[in-house]
Amino acid sequence: MQDPNEDTQWNDVLRAKGILPPKEEKEITEDEIIKLVESTIKEKTTDKSLEELTLDELDEQEDEIDEEEERIFQEYRRQRMLEMKAANLAAKYGDVLEISKEDYVTEVNKAGEGVWVILHVYKCGIPLCTLINQHLTGLARKFPQTKFIKSISSVCIPNYPDKNLPTIFVYFEGNIKKQFVGPFAFGGMKLTIDDLEWMLSEVGAVKTTLECCPKKEGIRDVMDMAVKSSRITDDSDDEDDW
């Protein structure tokens, strides 16, 4: 039997003569409207989804949508502004803070709920330490939600062996989550800022936009083995303070 709701010429004739009842209008759901808005936007914004549009791009599309679509459009825009505001509130760092041993409790243990802390223990005159400090400055700007701090080894850990430098401690909510100790753990002077970003992202300290490890797999395997085998060789009591 033919479907009376099917769109055919014959059914249209029967409806016109009153033989068939008027076609039932299907209620359009909000999800369907959102899909319609997104499909319209994708045609005009190089296949971007609604969530990927910037506020300026949302404004450009605002004049080309109807009343119902505009309501949903404005809701997306409001949510986007709230997300940006929340991100700005969370972005409270943005640089590398130099600390002393006395600052440790305040800057690490009391960093706050949900806060990742990257501590670089370094020494002036060691090229790799200088390189890492440069990389951390760039990463601190890129990831202002993460706290980046540094301290000279002789200041924060007396008698800390130079062979352990550079050292990076990664903390979350005051608890140590990872440590990278010695030049081999960083791959030496060939370390790039992307390499360091990837290492920190694997711990969870930053949310990287990199899609894969910057280093070739062979180099990465050696690096991972070095990181896993790295241990602080100083047995002094001062180590416990960190």
Which of 67-71, 120-124, 229-233 shows the lowest per-residue confidence on average (mean pLDDT)? 229-233
- Give the domain CATH number at 156: 3.40.30.10
User: Is 71 a member of any domain?
Assistant: no
| pLDDT tens per residue across span 83-129 | 666 555 555 788 999 999 899 999 998 888 889 999 999 999 999 99
The top-scoring range by mean pLDDT among 14-28, 40-54, 57-71, 131-145 is 131-145
User: Is 192 a member of any domain?
Assistant: yes
Percentage of the chain with pLDDT > 70? 54
Give residue 239's pLDDT.
44
User: Is 81 a member of any domain?
Assistant: no
Which domain covers residue 185, as residue numbers?
97-215
Structure tokens at 8: 């055919």
Closest by CA position to 90, among listed 169, 148, 150, 143: 143
Structural contact between residues 172 and 116, judged by C-beta atoms closer than 8 angstroms: yes
In sequence order, the β-bridge partners of residue 178 are 170
In sequence order, the β-bridge partners of residue 147 are 117
User: Is 37 a member of any domain?
Assistant: no
Structural contact between residues 41 and 53, judged by C-beta atoms closer than 8 angstroms: yes
User: Is 74 a member of any domain?
Assistant: no
Structure tokens at 233: 């060789």
Which of 31-35, 73-77, 189-193, 200-204 shows the lowest per-residue confidence on average (mean pLDDT)? 31-35
